[in-house]
Amino acid sequence: MRNVQLDHAAHKASSYNYPVCYLAHDINVATNVGSFFRMADALGVERVFLTGKTVAPPNPKLRKTSRCTENYVDFTLEDDPIPVIDRLKATGYRIISLETTNRSIDLALLEVSVDDKFCLLLGSENHGVHEDLLARSDEVVHIPMLGENSSMNVASACAITTYDIIRRLNHQRLPTPHIDHGTHHDAGGATPDPDSGHFAEKYPTKTCSKHHL
């Protein structure tokens, strides 16, 4: 059988989300934020929280990098990340900061079990994750760097970390409850948690068509 490259028309989207979300704080590079949305769509990340000075949709550079996936990934805008972290922790999420510190651990050593829920905390290229947010993290993880450079682009690190965590969530499960505070932008409406009734409201579908990505 010939090995033939498939085009977009052959792709069948899934509505399944893993219990993983992103919290991007003070990230002012639109292409990085666009990459978060594209990864979230590709890997089944349930929500992106944009806090502080993080670039938010609508933004032409973000949209170009995301290939319109901000229309399909649920996201929340908030000024202060700390209340977001507190709400996530209250619903059982582990806060995992991506940063190199004197106490950070190799990503490979991060313990992952089937019942875990994760929020990946992402900081800016210049300043990283703020110390007050590191202090509220359950774990701080880094990706070992073998070359001369001591770090990698935050979007690249986010992609590696997300894929590794999802790979180790060894049983599929229904999406976990979304957090229902803040200014929400739900792509066509999220599935409510049967126990909490969160996200019962469906928001209007946005304008970008998947067939034109």
Residues 6+ positions from 140 with CB-CB distance below 8 Å:
96, 97, 98, 99, 101, 103, 104, 105, 129, 134
Give tens-digit pLDDT for 153-198.
999 999 999 999 999 985 545 444 445 445 667 775 443 343 433 3
Give tens-digit pLDDT for 113-160.
989 999 999 999 889 999 999 999 999 999 999 999 888 999 999 999
pLDDT for res 80: 98
From the list 61, 59, 60, 49, the residue with the least C-alpha distance to 25 is: 49
Contact 125, 161 (CB under 8 A): no
CA atoms within 13 A on the CB side of 75: 26
Q: Residue 82 has which token pair?
A: 């700390």
pLDDT for res 8: 87
Q: Which is it for strands 45-51 and 18-25: parallel, antiparallel or unpaired?
A: parallel
pTM of the model: 0.80
Per-domain residue ranges of the chain? 16-188
From the list 179, 153, 148, the residue with the least C-alpha distance to 83 is: 179
Q: Flag the least confident range among 57-71, 77-91, 185-199.
A: 185-199
Contact 137, 177 (CB under 8 A): no
- Which helix (H) or strand (E) segment is 117 a member of? strand 117-122
Q: How far apart are CA 212 and CA 208, in angstroms?
A: 7
Query: What mean pLDDT do residues 33-45 have?
Result: 97
Which neighbouring-strand residues pair with 117? 93
User: What does CATH list as the number for 16-188?
Assistant: 3.40.1280.10
pLDDT exceeds cutoff 90 at 66: yes
